[in-house]
Amino acid sequence: MKMIIHIFFILSLVSSTSFASVLDFCVADPKGPQNPSGYSCKNPDQVTENDFAFSGLAKAGNTSNIIKAAVTPAFAPAFAGLNGLDVSLARLDLAGGGVIPLHTHPGASEVLVVIQGTISAGFISSANKVYLKTLSRGDSMVFPQGLLHFQLNSGKGPALAFVAFGSSSPGLQILPFALFANDLPSELVEATTFLSDEEVKKLKGVLGGTN
């Protein structure tokens, strides 16, 4: 009896980290509840080949915005077949001068490959050391999980890259928006960033923050 309990305990741990460890797949059911491993599994009888294919990365994103860039994700549940497989994708389109600002993915590491143009990319370690590289077509770079990183179009024309993540839901927090696109009181932002009241209010105005 103890052996059976131990087996079920181990299986519960495995299934909490990856559905694929005990199932062939777990296609996301967006109508069901979520848990730390992802979405609930769709009824296998309702799964089709379309759940394992995604065409959303074929079209360029709209770069007519403040950062002159667009990120088109292929995450669960939109790409339902990725659920529980610890992998996902995204497309990065950067117009001239476009930038993906300093940001972090708390749930996954990232690998980028440049398809077109020139991209300056880098990340900052927990020891505040900067790793910066200018990437051309065919070049790749990895960004470790949870570390602040960025991508900047440093070429003369548009740039295109694809990225892969070690999670079907890597998460995202963009530093400038976290500081200036919400209602965090300006005096707290000033105290924690050493920026002046004028600078903070200007950035809040640009990014839509209040208070």
pLDDT digits (tens, 9 = 90+) for 71-82: 999 998 899 999
The pLDDT, as a whole number, for residue 209 is 85
The pLDDT, as a whole number, for residue 46 is 93
For residue 82, give the nearest of 37, 51, 58 by alpha carbon: 51
Contacts of 185 by beta carbon, 8 Å cutoff, 6+ apart: 211
Annotated binding-site residues read 103, 105, 110, 149
Strand bridging mode 88-94 / 159-165? antiparallel
The pLDDT, as a whole number, for residue 33 is 83
Q: Give the relative orientation of helices 197-207 and 186-193 as an angle to the nearest 10 degrees.
A: 120
Annotated binding-site residues for Mn(2+) read 103, 105, 110, 149
Whether residue 3 has pLDDT greater than 90: no
pLDDT digits (tens, 9 = 90+) for 14-45: 333 455 556 789 999 988 888 777 789 999 99
The pLDDT, as a whole number, for residue 84 is 87
Determine the average pLDDT of the residues in 11-15. Answer: 37
The pLDDT, as a whole number, for residue 44 is 92
For residue 112, give the nearest of 75, 60, 152, 165 by alpha carbon: 165
Whether omega for the bond prior to residue 77 falls within 30 degrees of 0, making it cis, is: yes
Cα dihedral: 51, 30, 88, 95 (round 10): 100
Core vs surface per residue 129-160: b (16+ CB within 10 A) or e: eeeeeebeeeeebebebeebbbbbbbbeebbb
All structural domains of the chain, each given as residue ranges with its CATH number in brackets, are: 47-56+66-170 (2.60.120.10), 175-205 (no CATH)
The structure's pTM equals 0.82
The pLDDT, as a whole number, for residue 21 is 57
Long-range pairs for 59-66: beta carbons < 8 A, 24 or more residues apart: 60/91, 60/93, 60/160, 61/91, 61/93, 63/93, 63/94, 63/95, 63/98, 63/158, 66/206, 66/207
Annotated binding-site residues for oxalate read 105, 110
